[in-house]
C-alpha cells in the first residue's frame, strides 16, 4: 500500500474515531474468516462497524482524539468496533459473541471520551436496552398520572358515597 493511500485511510479512521460514541478494541488471534464475517454482520445490525487496522495506522489516526488514551493497548492483531448507534445493544452483541468464541478477546474501549476496561464493557452489556428503559420510564410517567387522577377524584367520590349512604338511611328509616 502506498503512502498516499495510508494517509487517506488514517484520515478517514481519524474522523470515524471522533464521531463514534463507543469504540472497543478486541484481539482476534486464531479467528477464521467465517467467524469474523459473522461478527461483522451481527454488529452491523446494531449500527457498529468492525475494522481490522494495523497498530501503527491506528496510532496515527488516534492522535488528537480521546482514543489516544488506549495507545498502550495497540499490541498484536486488533479489530476495532466503532459504534454510532445504540451503545448497549452493540456491547451486548459483542460480549455475547466473545463468550461463544474464545478467539475474540475484548481488551478495552472508550465511551464518550471515558476509558472502559474489559470488566466495565461487560457491565455495560448487562444494562437493559434502550427500549426497555423507555418502557420503564413510560410506566413510571403513567403511574404518576394515574395516582394524581385517583387523588383528585377521591373527594367527589367520597361525597357521592356519603350522599348514597344518606339516601339508603333515609329510605330504610321511612
> Does residue 173 sit in the same domain as residue 96?
no
Query: CA angle at residue 74 from 68 to 79, to 5 degrees?
Result: 105
> Does residue 167 sit in the same domain as residue 95?
no
- 116 within 8 A of 108, measured Cβ to Cβ: yes
List the domain range (segments joined by +) for residue 169.
129-174
Q: In which residue are the cell numbers 482524539 written?
A: 65
> Does residue 97 sit in the same domain as residue 160?
no
> Does residue 121 sit in the same domain as residue 162?
no
> Does residue 44 sit in the same domain as residue 77?
yes
Give dist(CA 7, CA 134) in Å, integer: 42
What is the domain count for the chain?
Answer: 2
CATH number of the domain that residue 62 is part of: 3.30.70.1730
Q: What is the pTM of this model?
A: 0.70
> Does residue 89 sit in the same domain as residue 45?
yes
**If we measure between CA atoms, which residue out of 116, 117, 104 comes closest to residue 27?**
104
Beta bridge partners of 27: 78, 105
Give dist(CA 162, CA 139) in Å, integer: 33
* C-alpha cell at position 101: 468464541
pLDDT computed for residue 174 by the predictor: 58
Q: What is the pLDDT along the chain (174 residues), one digit of tens a residue?
A: 688 888 888 888 888 888 888 889 898 888 888 988 888 998 888 888 888 888 888 888 888 887 878 888 888 888 899 888 788 888 898 999 889 988 888 998 888 888 888 899 888 888 887 788 888 888 888 888 888 888 888 888 888 999 999 999 988 875
Instruction: Tell me the per-residue pLDDT of 16-27, one tens digit each, with 9 for 90 and over.
Output: 888 888 889 898
Residues of the chain above pLDDT 90, percent: 6
Give dist(CA 118, CA 25) in Å, integer: 10
> Does residue 90 sit in the same domain as residue 144?
no
Q: In which order are the strands placed within the sheet that holds 78-83? A: 48-52, 78-83, 22-27, 105-111, 114-117
> Does residue 134 sit in the same domain as residue 120?
no
Instruction: Tell me the per-residue pLDDT of 79-88, one tens digit each, with 9 for 90 and over.
Output: 899 888 788 8
> Does residue 158 sit in the same domain as residue 92?
no
Instruction: Output DSSP code: residue 24.
Output: E
> Does residue 63 sit in the same domain as residue 133?
no
Give dist(CA 25, CA 42) in Å, integer: 17
> Does residue 81 sit in the same domain as residue 133?
no
Amino acid at each position: 500500500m502506498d503512502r498516499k493511500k495510508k494517509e487517506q485511510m488514517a484520515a478517514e479512521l481519524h474522523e470515524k474515531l471522533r464521531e463514534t460514541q463507543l469504540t472497543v478494541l478486541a484481539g482476534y488471534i486464531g479467528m477464521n474468516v467465517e467467524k469474523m464475517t459473522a461478527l461483522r454482520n451481527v454488529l452491523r445490525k446494531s449500527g457498529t462497524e468492525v475494522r481490522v487496522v494495523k497498530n501503527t495506522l491506528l496510532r496515527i489516526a488516534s492522535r488528537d482524539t480521546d482514543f489516544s488514551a488506549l495507545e498502550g493497548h495497540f499490541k498484536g492483531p486488533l479489530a476495532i468496533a466503532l459504534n454510532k448507534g445504540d451503545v448497549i445493544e452493540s456491547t451486548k452483541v459483542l460480549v455475547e459473541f466473545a463468550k461463544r468464541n474464545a478467539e475474540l478477546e475484548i481488551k478495552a474501549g472508550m465511551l464518550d471520551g471515558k476509558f472502559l476496561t474489559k470488566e466495565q464493557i461487560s457491565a455495560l452489556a448487562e444494562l437493559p436496552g434502550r427500549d426497555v428503559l423507555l418502557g420503564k420510564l413510560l410506566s413510571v410517567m403513567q403511574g404518576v398520572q394515574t395516582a394524581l387522577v385517583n387523588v383528585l377524584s377521591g373527594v367527589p367520590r367520597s361525597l357521592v358515597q356519603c350522599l348514597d349512604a344518606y339516601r339508603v338511611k333515609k329510605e330504610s328509616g321511612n
